[in-house]
Amino acid sequence: MTHAQPDPVPDAPTVAAVVVLAAGQGTRMRSATPKVLHPLGGRSMLGHVLAAAAPLGAGVTVVVVGAGRELVREHLAAVAPDALPVVQEEQRGSGHAAAVALAAVPDLTGPVLLVNGDAPLLRASTVARLVEEHRSRENALTVLTAEVEDPTGLGRIVRDADGSVRAIVEQRDATDEQRAIREINAGVYVGDAAAVRSALGRIDADNDQGELYFTDVLALLVGDGARVGGVIAEDPDDVLGCNDRVELAARRRTLNDRVLDDLMRSGVTVVDPLTTWVDVTVTVGRDAVLEPGTHLQGATSVGDAAHVGPDTTLVDCTVADGASVVRSHCLGAAIGPGATVGPFSYLRPGTDLGRGAKVGAFVETKNVQVGEGSKVPHLSYVGDATIGTGSNIGAATVFVNYDGVAKHRTMIGDHVRVGSDTMLVAPVTVGDGAYTAAGSVITSDVPPGAMGVARAAQRNVAGWVRRRRPGTPAAQAAEAAENRAGALREESSGPSRADTDS
Ligand code: UD1
Ligand code: CA
């Protein structure tokens, strides 16, 4: 199994605390959803940041919340229940946010990772390198930086002649000379808690935005004669922030490229990386093939040599080795080894297909176990059922599971043949080796080996078309057929063909 998880970091260095700054409005997203909750690649932006910091095993993770705080709190409870949300009532700047966070953990000492909540491409390995550099250099503050083509809007890293970091200057406060600098502040820092606290107590809002900037901490510590350093990210993509939906789409694309590159390098065929989207939480086995238009989401895992797509979405599904899923939409389904799904199947939660089972065209399933080798090949709804092994469900069968008030279960034994267009009105059981007649409405149990027939006997109304639809093509065709039949009858009542021919 190949993991597209954030790179595991062996012997990860550690910090006393992680502080995520996530209180900002995210105005440029123009969204009712707080910026850090926008999803990409299977996690929220905030979720990616937390995942990058997780291997540090920090004693405490503080998340500063403000705009949309209720939603952010709810999200944290779901994805990071151990994190401590701390409210920044008024968004007075990143420095103020950091101060609010540190005030919530007054006894904290040692290194603290501070990170902007809008850095979804940040990798665990990059964070680990920053922390390790901070520790080995015995810095008071270490900032993650990157050399970028276009630094517009970002804080610039000001270094002195010998290359030491002296200050971070925001674009709007920068001189023309500083604006030409292409090394930028990633918004990811490791600082000694005591040193950062002391500097935060001294920052002011004397800048173009009138905010308390965390970035001013750096120059203050330099002024104190403390050791301050910068670590340049190996991959500048790691530090890209996300401020509007154009950037969100670009970050999503980058994240997806990374996931697909990892998968391809580990032995997965991705036929068309441009139309294949795989969440960071998904695993895919060797020699699996992902066809164009494949979307793998959430806790999905795809086994070795499995075949998915084209045009298939799998959410929280397990696809076992050698199985195939073609042009289908599947949610919370388990697809057994060598099983086949599609084209055009809709598998809903609780679907569990055994080894070699088949669900075919225009079939919907929900909360159903399909035993080894059993088949539901065409045009059926199968809900709340257990199907044994080697059984076949005829075309257009409906498992009638809902009586308008409650759901009921259908039990189908082994080697059962359910005739086409059978209605199985649950609760009902069809025993091992039993059959049902096509078109039956089965309301009571069919014992093992029996043929269940539940349909009106056929009645033919002779001559109905001639009488009721005279002159139509149907009537003419019927008349011609009757005439032919009449001629045949006359012939067979006369001498035999053999006699006349000889
Ligand atoms: C910030 C940095 C900039 C850096 C860039 C990287 C500052 C002053 N500048 O700029 O040097 O290049 O990130 O992306 O920090 N926040 C709060 N409370 C607030 C204000 C902000 O929690 O009162 C949070 C935001 O949610 C965000 C982070 O702090 O996650 C940074 O704030 P943002 O306004 O996005 O700063 P940038 O202008 O992007
Ligand atoms: Ca930002």
Are residues 382 and 303 located together in one domain of the fold?
A: yes
DSSP string, 343-359: SSEEE-TTEEE-TT-EE
Which residues form the domain of 121? Answer: 2-239
Q: Which ligand has the shortest distance to the CA of 186?
A: 1
Are residues 230 and 131 located together in one domain of the fold?
A: yes
Residue 60 lies in a domain: yes
Residue 325 lies in a domain: yes
Are residues 214 and 326 located together in one domain of the fold?
A: no
Are residues 273 and 137 located together in one domain of the fold?
A: no
Residue 222 has pLDDT above 90, yes or no: yes
Q: Output the six-digit token pair for 90.
A: 């008024």
496 band by pLDDT with thresholds 50, 70 and 90: low
The CA dihedral of 20, 21, 25, 27, to the nearest 10 degrees, is: -90
Supply the CATH number for residue 140's domain: 3.90.550.10
501 band by pLDDT with thresholds 50, 70 and 90: very low
Supply the CATH number for residue 429's domain: 2.160.10.10
Q: Which atom of ligand 1 is nearest to the CA of 35?
A: 26
The whole-angstrom separation of Cα 318 and Cα 302 is 6
Q: Output the six-digit token pair for 143.
A: 């900032």
Neighbours of 271 (CB within 10 A): 14
Radius of gyration over alpha carbons of the chain, in Å? 34
Q: Which atom of ligand 1 is nearest to the CA of 21?
A: 22
Residues carrying an active site annotation: 378
492 band by pLDDT with thresholds 50, 70 and 90: confident
Residue 254 lies in a domain: no
Q: What is the pLDDT of residue 157?
A: 98
491 band by pLDDT with thresholds 50, 70 and 90: confident
SS3 314: strand
Residue length of the chain: 502
User: What average pLDDT score do residues 225-248 get?
Assistant: 96
Domain boundary residue among 452, 480, 496?
452
Q: What is the pLDDT of residue 436?
A: 98
Residue 28 lies in a domain: yes
SS3 140: coil
Are residues 213 and 295 located together in one domain of the fold?
A: no
SS3 461: coil
Q: What is the pLDDT of residue 12?
A: 62
SS3 502: coil
User: What average pLDDT score do residues 166-194 get?
Assistant: 97
Are residues 222 and 296 located together in one domain of the fold?
A: no
Question: Does ligand 1 lie within 6 Å of residue 166's CB atom?
Answer: no
Are residues 353 and 291 located together in one domain of the fold?
A: yes
Are residues 307 and 188 located together in one domain of the fold?
A: no
pTM value is 0.91
Q: How many separate domains does the chain show? A: 2
Pocket test of ligand 1: the residue of 92, 116, 213 to mutate, having most ligand atoms within 8 Å of its CB, is: 116
Report whether 337 contacts 319 (CB < 8 A): no
**Parallel, antiparallel, or unpaired for β 312-315 and 294-297?**
parallel
Residue 500 lies in a domain: no
Task: Write down the residue that tokens 């034994």 correspond to.
Answer: 413
Residue 473 lies in a domain: no
Q: What is the mean pLDDT of the chain?
A: 95
Residue 309 lies in a domain: yes
User: What average pLDDT score do residues 149-170 get?
Assistant: 96
Are residues 219 and 122 located together in one domain of the fold?
A: yes
